[in-house]
Chains A and B, each alone.
Chain A
Amino acid sequence: GENVEQHPSTLSVQEGDSAVIKCTYSDSASNYFPWYKQELGKRPQLIIDIRSNVGEKKDQRIAVTLNKTAKHFSLHITETQPEDSAVYFCAASSTGNTPLVFGKGTRLSVIA
């Protein structure tokens, strides 16, 4: 089955700096790669996703890149703000109906 590795487990950045979180996956059949943000005591919320026919996707300060050959994908947050502080999860699945397999999460702290 799919296995998703996520790094780093914790990340601290100064406000205004960029943050990068990286994930690798094992199943070459995976074709859907979402990222979720989970604030303390809240549910995970989808912030951006990418499918395997696309190499990069951007939404304001957030971007995701995908390298299918190397089986890795990354989340980039620019101009970080204190409200970006949360746990971020990457995930992968091979079809829309296959349950997402999540990475172990990255705790991002943005220091004002």
Chain B
Amino acid sequence: DTAVSQTPKYLVTQMGNDKSIKCEQNLGHDTMYWYKQDSKKFLKIMFSYNNKELIINETVPNRFSPKSPDKAHLNLHINSLELGDSAVYFCASTPYGGYGYTFGSGTRLTVV
């Protein structure tokens, strides 16, 4: 009974393609995030959503567009994929005003 689930787990695609990653949490949390972990393991915030509304959008190319259809889901769509987009993308959630993230299992994106 996975708390934060991401699909797909692995994604290999060619440059220039458009792809989506899905995230769902069944914890009843209000806030969800997308983080990017590069090859050096650095975890960097991309987006933060609270109850379906965008709260934080860090300096991320506008080829990346998050969408939250409801507070349990936060998807990430990436247009015109580039080699530098290759990374592991983690979704996470936390209760509103709460502490302690629960991370999804990650999506390893490889752009060739």
Q: Which residues of A contact B (CB under 8 A)?
A: 32, 34, 38, 42-46, 49, 51, 87, 89, 95-97, 99-102, 104-105
List chain B residues, Cβ under 8 A from A105: 41-43
B residues apposed to A, CB below 8 Å: 31, 33, 40-45, 48, 50, 55-56, 90, 94-101, 103-106
Q: Which chain A positions have C-beta within 8 A of B94?
A: 96-97
Kindly list 12 other residue pairs between chains A and B, CB separation below 8 angstroms, not including A42-B105, A44-B43.
A34-B100, A44-B101, A89-B43, A96-B95, A97-B48, A99-B45, A99-B48, A99-B56, A104-B40, A104-B41, A104-B42, A105-B41
| CB neighbours of A101 from chain B (8 A) | 45
* Cβ-defined partner of B50 (8 Å) among A34, A43, A97: A97
Q: B31, B42, B90: which contacts A43 (Cβ < 8 A)?
A: B90
